[in-house]
Amino acid sequence: MPRILRILSGRPSTSASPRNRIREGGVTAKSAMVDTRDFINFDDIDENGPQSYSRTFEISPSELERFEFADIGPVSISANARKGEVPGEYVVDGSAKFAADLACSRCVEPYPFASSSAFNLRFEPRPKAPQNEEGEIEIPPDELDVEFYSERSIPLRELALEQIQLSIPMKPLCDDNCLGLCPQCGANRNRETCTCEESIVDDRWGALSEIRQAIKKRES
Ligand SMILES: [Zn+2]
Ligand SMILES: [Zn+2]
């Protein structure tokens, strides 16, 4: 056996990863042939009845308004859209799935996070009236889950982004018991013990002895 082949066969992981990448690419191309629509189109629903969509989007962490994303994988979204009960209303049911690396809000270390969430949205035409004195549109309390549209097509990518934003925790934690960073030296307390806490105590005693000395001076 030539030497180079022996080296390659000794490293199964390096030869496996490009093959996986090719397979993934094949799946994406296949599903793209089935459905390439980027938008939920309300006119299409009016004409042809309920529609189903299934897309996978590549999202970069910079597109999200949350700084906690260290990295994010492809986001799969599937949705069924149909006419609602009220004229001009459309109902969209679906689910979104993704995996990401989130930065822990205590220790800042990235940790794996996966989410699969279902959504149920109602789209209604953006109301022209009534408006209050500030010119804001008043929305009845029971319609807070409604999204108002002015364009009759909804980008699926925007829906996917919205679902990502909604599904990540307000304060991501690598572990509920994460000890966080030492506020003084920045050491990750999950991994190392620093001596800062002791010196805080020392400082407190120091302050106390200064007071004692001040009292002594006054007494003498
Ligand atoms: Zn943490
Ligand atoms: Zn410390």
Do 135 and 188 sit in the same domain of this protein?
Answer: no
94, 118 contact by CB (below 8 A):
yes
What pLDDT, on the 0 to 100 scale, is given for residue 142? 58
Residue 209 within any structural domain of the chain: yes
Block residue for tokens 């030539």: 2
Q: How far is the CA of 176 from the centre of ligand 1 (A)?
A: 8
Which residue among 127, 145, 167 closes a domain?
Answer: 167
Q: How far is the CA of 170 from the centre of ligand 1 (A)?
A: 14
Structure tokens at 75: 């986001």
Do 129 and 72 sit in the same domain of this protein?
Answer: yes
Length of the chain: 220
Residue 220 within any structural domain of the chain: yes
Q: How far is the CA of 191 from the centre of ligand 2 (A)?
A: 12
Residue 144 within any structural domain of the chain: yes
DSSP 88: T
Protein residues near ligand 1, an ion, with CB under 5 A: 104, 106-107, 174, 178
Name which of 153, 59, 75 is nearest 114 in CA terms: 75
Domain that holds residue 207: 179-220
Name the closest ligand to CA 174: 1
pTM: 0.65
Name the closest ligand to CA 172: 1
- Full pLDDT tens readout for the chain, 220 residues: 333 333 333 333 333 334 344 444 444 444 444 567 899 999 999 999 999 999 999 998 888 877 888 899 999 999 999 999 989 999 999 999 999 999 999 999 999 999 999 999 999 998 776 666 666 666 665 555 788 899 999 999 999 999 999 998 989 999 999 999 999 999 999 999 998 865 555 555 566 666 666 766 666 6
Q: How far is the CA of 169 from the centre of ligand 1 (A)?
A: 13
Residue 100 within any structural domain of the chain: yes
Which residue among 131, 146, 167 closes a domain?
Answer: 167
Q: How far is the CA of 161 from the centre of ligand 1 (A)?
A: 25
Do 91 and 156 sit in the same domain of this protein?
Answer: yes
Residue 99 within any structural domain of the chain: yes
Name the closest ligand to CA 199: 2
Do 37 and 120 sit in the same domain of this protein?
Answer: yes
Q: How far is the CA of 178 from the centre of ligand 1 (A)?
A: 5
Q: How far is the CA of 195 from the centre of ligand 2 (A)?
A: 6
Report how many domains make up the chain. Answer: 2
Residue 172 within any structural domain of the chain: no
* Segments of the chain assigned E as strands: 39-41, 51-57, 69-72, 75-83, 90-103, 110-125, 146-149, 153-155
Q: How far is the CA of 74 from the centre of ligand 2 (A)?
A: 38
Residue 173 within any structural domain of the chain: no
Q: How far is the CA of 35 from the centre of ligand 1 (A)?
A: 40
Do 160 and 51 sit in the same domain of this protein?
Answer: yes
Do 103 and 156 sit in the same domain of this protein?
Answer: yes
Q: How far is the CA of 103 from the centre of ligand 2 (A)?
A: 20
